[in-house]
């Protein structure tokens, strides 16, 4: 590709501004050319914030625009499927936020549509890009932990109990903590340990969220604010995952407590969001020790990003855009793709089914 990859943002809200636009601006191979959002006032602000002139309230205009090569979809969950299909039909490469769809069927259709058209596809599973997660993965696959036996993750946030906006509508969000937070952990657990083949899960809701942050009454939440699962992996390991937005005392500058570990036959390695440039490591008979992540794991391969710039728990998120553009310019699959998004979605669906039936469920492998 001779010219820069021309990217449009669809959904100009929080995650677009926090993760993706800074990532595009850091990448000399890419150019942010347009934004789409139904909120005209937000679009007017983004024209200045993001230094763009082309904006629209209709994603179909982006899908049909021959001067756009790729899109990043950052809209509420119920719109991911129709917007992705329209953009793929218009020949755009697509990175879509998680959860990829509202259910496995939607996610599977998105994966198949991208594959059939030979377009690049990526699911925005952010935490795969944390330096400590990348280093932990390297140690695991290099055999330094021995045979991986247990995976364990805890995502504990101390959020206010006021309204979550669209996130608390079942129709718009699909589920709460499960689709918002735990689905990331499902993804990286599978990346580390293999496919989850059998699971039992549960969800719960404690906060009614019938007051807005401004103190106005609103419709109560319809979704979970706690989710958990136990799983068996196809490579023989086992996993336990838990997430909540109601863990009082776990504020930690808004980043919360985000812990994931693998216990292997030789050693344990731990990722933590609050210190993403170190991991905890320990062998049999030792106590876990803090180890610096080596330089080559601090940024995505080839990225010009300076890892010393910015807040470590924030800046690795810019590498998502680097990976998306790398897949496009190098003509290779982006990782994680829609296949990984669909696979995580199958497990998340399984958590809801398992809890409803109070039983273990088998997770379909075929995409």
Ligand X SMILES: NC(=O)c1ccc[n+]([C@@H]2O[C@H](COP(=O)([O-])OP(=O)(O)OC[C@H]3O[C@@H](n4cnc5c(N)ncnc54)[C@H](O)[C@@H]3O)[C@@H](O)[C@H]2O)c1
User: Between 250 and 316, whose beta carbon lies closer to ligand X?
Assistant: 316
> Is 74 a residue that touches ligand X (CB under 6 A)?
yes
> Is 37 a residue that touches ligand X (CB under 6 A)?
yes
Among 65, 70, 75, 128, binds ligand X (CB under 6 A): 75
Half-sphere exposure of residue 194: CA atoms within 13 angstroms, side-chain side = 14
Total residues in contact with ligand X, by rule CB under 6 A: 23
Torsional class of 234: left (φ above 0), alpha (ψ -120 to 50), beta (otherwise) = alpha
x/- contact string, 99-128, with ligand X (CB under 6 A)? Answer: -------------------------x-x--
x/- contact string, 269-308, with ligand X (CB under 6 A)? Answer: ----------------------------------------
> Is 94 a residue that touches ligand X (CB under 6 A)?
no
CB 237 within 8 A of CB 150: yes
Provide DSSP, 73-85.
Answer: E-S-GGGHHHHHH
Distance in angstroms (rounded) separating the CA atoms of residues 123 and 260: 20
CB 209 within 8 A of CB 116: no
User: Between 98 and 361, whose beta carbon lies closer to ligand X?
Assistant: 98
Distance in angstroms (rounded) separating the CA atoms of residues 311 and 314: 5
CB 113 within 8 A of CB 85: yes
> Is 15 a residue that touches ligand X (CB under 6 A)?
yes
User: Between 107 and 268, whose beta carbon lies closer to ligand X?
Assistant: 107
SS3 110: helix
Smallest gap from Cβ 30 to ligand X, in A, equals: 18
| Class of residue 166 by CB neighbours under 10 A (exposed 0-12, middle 13-18, buried 19+) | middle
Q: Which stretch binds ligand X (CB under 6 A): 8-16, 191-199, 270-278, 359-367?
A: 8-16
User: Between 31 and 78, whose beta carbon lies closer to ligand X?
Assistant: 78
Per-residue tokens: 337 = 């793709």
Where do the H-state alpha helices sit in 157-240? 170-173, 177, 183-193
Smallest gap from Cβ 74 to ligand X, in A, equals: 5
Half-sphere exposure of residue 260: CA atoms within 13 angstroms, side-chain side = 29
User: Between 12 and 139, whose beta carbon lies closer to ligand X?
Assistant: 12
> Is 10 a residue that touches ligand X (CB under 6 A)?
yes
Q: List interacting residues with ligand X (CB under 6 A).
A: 10-16, 36-39, 42, 59, 74-77, 79, 97-98, 124, 126, 180
């Amino acid at each position: 590709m001779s010219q820069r990859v021309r990217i449009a943002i669809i959904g100009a809200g929080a995650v677009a501004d926090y993760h993706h636009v800074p990532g595009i601006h850091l990448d000399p191979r890419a150019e942010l050319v347009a934004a789409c959002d139904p909120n005209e006032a937000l679009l007017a602000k983004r024209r200045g914030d993001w230094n763009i002139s082309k904006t629209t309230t209709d994603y179909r205009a982006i899908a049909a625009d021959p001067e756009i090569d790729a899109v990043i979809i950052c809209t509420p969950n119920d719109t991911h499927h129709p917007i992705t299909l329209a953009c793929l039909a218009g020949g755009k490469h697509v990175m879509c936020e998680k959860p990829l769809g509202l259910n496995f069927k939607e996610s599977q259709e998105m994966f198949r549509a991208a594959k059939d058209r030979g377009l690049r596809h990526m699911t925005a599973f952010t935490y795969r890009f944390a330096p400590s997660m990348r280093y932990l993965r390297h140690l695991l696959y290099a055999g330094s932990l021995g045979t991986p036996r247990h995976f364990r993750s805890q995502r504990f946030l101390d959020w206010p109990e006021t309204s979550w906006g669209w996130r608390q509508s079942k129709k718009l969000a699909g589920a709460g903590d499960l689709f918002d937070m735990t689905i990331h952990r499902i993804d990286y657990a599978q990346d580390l340990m293999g496919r989850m083949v059998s699971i039992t899960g549960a969800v719960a809701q404690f906060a009614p969220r019938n007051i807005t942050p401004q103190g106005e009454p609103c419709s109560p939440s319809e979704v979970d604010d706690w989710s958990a699962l136990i799983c068996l992996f196809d490579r023989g390991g086992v996993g336990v995952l838990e997430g909540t937005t109601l863990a009082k005392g776990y504020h930690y500058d808004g980043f919360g407590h985000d812990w994931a570990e693998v216990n292997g036959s030789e050693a344990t390695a731990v990722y933590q969001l609050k210190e993403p440039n170190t991991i905890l490591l320990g062998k049999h008979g030792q106590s876990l020790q803090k180890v610096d992540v080596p330089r080559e794991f601090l940024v995505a391969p080839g990225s010009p990003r300076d890892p010393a710039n910015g807040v470590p728990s924030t800046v690795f998120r810019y590498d998502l855009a680097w990976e998306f553009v790398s897949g496009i310019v190098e003509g290779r699959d982006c990782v994680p793709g829609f296949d990984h998004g669909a696979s995580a979605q199958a497990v998340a669906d399984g958590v809801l089914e398992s809890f409803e039936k109070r039983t273990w469920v088998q997770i379909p492998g075929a995409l």
